[in-house]
Amino acid sequence: MTKKILLLTLTLFLVTSCGEVTIEAEPGKYHGLGYDPVSEETEYTIKMTMLETRSSEQWGAFLAFGMIDLENQNRLEIYLNQHQKDDELLIAGYRYIEKEEFVYNRILMENIPIGETIKWDISWQPDRTFTIKVADQVETTTKVNLGSMAGYAKVSSAKGKIHRY
């Protein structure tokens, strides 16, 4: 029991600090880890690597870093995933979810090898206009309904690594 509490405490410490986490989920399952609420930050750099895919009949591998509104649960996620469950290459994109409904999903890059580290730069203004840049190549801007925010990492049917700094 003590080992489990120590492991949970260590996991929470790693996630809430600016550091690297490895997160995994079995085929057809999700796993998520929460970060501390955003205070004075106005930008993050994220490095994301899909280490292993574990596709299931339900869906392909998915790895994301997101920002969630602590009150209304709206969220903006940047992600790597298999476009089709048996794909050998990944896509990178972002999606906005409001009240559990997908508002939009944008693919920014394709043909990413599994195991390649993708760098993201995310910044935001007080009006919640987000600028998202992926791999120092593709940049886009979107405005979303997020108030008090916290970050999180999420994985499905995969093993991945996320480094937030």
According to the model, what pLDDT value does residue 86 have?
81
Closest CA to 120 of 88, 92, 148, 85: 92
Q: Are 116 and 128 in contact (CB under 8 A)?
A: no
**What is the number of structural domains in the chain?**
1
Mean pLDDT of 108-137: 95
Which tens digit of pLDDT belongs to each residue from 41-56?
789 999 999 999 998 8
Strands 138-143 and 75-81: unpaired
Q: Which domain holds residue 6?
A: 2-164
> CATH no. for residue 48?
2.60.120.200
pLDDT at 111 over 50: yes
Helix (H, G, I), strand (E, B), or coil: what is residue 7? Answer: helix
User: Furthest-apart CA pair in the chain: how many Å?
Assistant: 47
Predicted TM-score (pTM) of the model is 0.87
